[in-house]
Structure 1
């Protein structure tokens, strides 16, 4: 690996092991895009490094990979992300890593189409986002 990547993995390793008094979990927002995939890969490498250095470690902090199903995604992309998330969960389980996949969905009254058509909200833009708490 490159020196930059090694340094990032080392920093993630230190941060994970340092923890805090509550052993709060890490939460990684995952879309299936390049940025979230790189972040997850770096965390995965850090956890593997921890395991290599201490094969008997009991991981105390969980890592949640959270993906939001907006219910407006292209079906091909939606299927791809579903397969990727299943693969992540299986690989984490097989490698005994503390990584867990969670998918969230909005309540029916908060979906994109319910807000735009049903409630008459304008389509979100830089100045208006109805996906945030009102």
Structure 2
């Protein structure tokens, strides 16, 4: 009986340690977190935030939900041929955010110069200094 009790307690403690490790890892790694927070910003501020903090360019931030507001300065395919919009903080301004969409259908009524709010998942800061959002949706 004593051996069974020792075995039970050992198993219980192992389970507690494993559970605690999983919970702590989810809290430390936003990509694993069950609760995903959404960040909101204008295009320029969002780009500057990622440029200033190199740690945010790391894979752990991939998939972070972001909502951004800006002016459409480009509508068309991205370099991979996917439907996209580029946003700036002003009309005819420099592109700060590339929003990639699953379907071009959602872009039919959008024109260059429109002010939009778009949400998407952070993918990368591109080599030409644009925050790239995937799975974008117009709000």
Of structures 1 and 2, the larger Rg is shown by 2
Common topology (TM > 0.5): no
TM-score (norm 2): 0.29
Structure with greater strand percent: 2
TM-score (norm 1): 0.30
Structure with greater helix percent: 1
